[in-house]
Amino acid sequence: MPGFELFGDAERKEVQDVLASGVLMRYGFEGMRNGHWKANDLELAIQNRFRVKHAQLVSNGTAAVSMTLAVAGVGAGDEVIMPSFTFVASFEAIMMMGATPVVVDIDDTLTLDIEGVKAAITSKTKAIMPVHMCGSMANLDALKSICDQHNLILIEDACQAIGGSYKGKALGTFGDLGCFSFDFVKTVTCGEGGGIITNNATYAKRLDHFSDHGHDHIGKDRGAEDHPFLGYNFRISELNAAVGLAQFKRIDEFLALQKRNYTILRTALSGIDGVQFRTVPNGGVESYAFLSFFLDDLSTARAVSKSFKANGIDVCFHYYDNNWHYIRKWDHLKTQNSLYPLSKELREGLSYLKTKDFSKSDHYIGRNISCLIKISWTEEEVLKRAETMAQCIKSCN
């Protein structure tokens, strides 16, 4: 992670196909395409890889999350449960639909705390959205049981965990809908792009229409197509899809490199006093996109993070002090600082953030460091990095 580290002839060839045809839009212009339908080809590859019936490409991962909510009928007056550790896009997507994000604590999986989820359910709850942060997953069996009990929709945000699995099923395929991001720093990149997978035919039809202004895509005359319902423009371009198609064909190569580099680093840190690795739910297999571990306390984690930077260890994140990935610094959400008026219902729904205690999340995020695994590292570079990381941690204990 990320796939752009290994751009090569395969990506250039797919992009050149599009440029040679001159058709950069995924729909229409059949006579000019020379048979190239990159978005369609990538959707089919995703379906085959993840053994799902339907895949829909969109403009980015945030659009993917927004669309899953829309096609599942989540909107004004509804609540969606989400974790305190994620990317800001999670609550942005929920609020875009007019629904209220209900932020819940995490546990040592760095994902949704199950007891916290149970306590957060109200008569307004419509969906639960686990976010498989840093390459690993939530306890999906427990969340599925809760959803079944309360008739809720389960939406998996697997944007950071493509290639991971839970009890033999690919992440993203366990819920009613699953989301991926293919932005510039993901394991598979389109430059900008996102994807949604589902086995629900009704959701799939809605995704197809909603992402393209409500077009029903019947016939070959785009101007004559009907609009069964309102939609928006979340289309991916053929150029972006072309890059993603080449990258997706290389996913096994990328995942193998991630696992090799992850394993070297983890082995080096295993047995060091004060290092505890994140918990992976039983039956779960990480994507190996990040190595995440806990230290004894907040001050030690800060000291190690500072030592890493001083010794040239990059892309290791102490999210407690991060502006974008943890509730502690989401001041613009807490203060409802919006360019446009929010509904009264949404404003009232977010008021809980003024007094909500996230000390349980602080306990985990404050002690956590998550290190992104690059796929361009040579084995020699990883071994050297591992030695330096181990020395930094020991010096701060």
CATH number of the CATH domain containing 71:
3.40.640.10
SS3 233: strand
State whether 238 and 345 are in the same domain. no
State whether 175 and 293 are in the same domain. no
State whether 230 and 261 are in the same domain. no
Residue indicated by tokens 């899809």: 241
State whether 230 and 276 are in the same domain. no
The band of 41, judged by pLDDT with boundaries at 50, 70 and 90, is very high
Contact 114, 161 (CB under 8 A): no
How many structural domains comprise the chain? 2
> Is pLDDT of 89 > 90?
yes
CA distances from 31 to 217, 220, 386 (A): 17, 11, 54
State whether 243 and 272 are in the same domain. no
State whether 236 and 347 are in the same domain. no
Q: Is the peptide bond before 2 cis (omega within 30 degrees of 0)?
A: yes
Q: What's the domain range around 145?
A: 3-250
State whether 259 and 352 are in the same domain. yes
Write the pLDDT tens digit of every residue in 340-391: 999 999 999 999 999 999 999 999 999 999 999 999 999 999 999 999 999 9
Contacts of 205 (CB under 8 A, 6+ apart): none
State whether 130 and 215 are in the same domain. yes
Q: What is the pLDDT of residue 397?
A: 87
- 311: domain CATH number is 3.90.1150.10
Q: What is the pLDDT of residue 132?
A: 98
- The predicted model gives 42-64 an average pLDDT of 98
State whether 246 and 259 are in the same domain. no
Boundary of a domain, candidates 211, 226, 250: 250
Which secondary structure element, helix H or strand E, spans residue 347, and what is its range? Answer: helix 344-349
**pTM for this prediction:** 0.97
The band of 95, judged by pLDDT with boundaries at 50, 70 and 90, is very high
State whether 14 and 45 are in the same domain. yes
Boundary of a domain, candidates 229, 250, 271: 250
Contact 392, 304 (CB under 8 A): yes
State whether 79 and 169 are in the same domain. yes
Which secondary structure element, helix H or strand E, spans residue 308, and what is its range? Answer: helix 298-310
For the four alpha carbons of 344, 78, 159 and 202, in that order, the dihedral sign comes to negative
Residues 167, 164: Cα–Cα separation, whole Å: 10
Phi/psi of residue 3, each to 5°? -65, -20
State whether 256 and 242 are in the same domain. no
Contact 251, 188 (CB under 8 A): yes
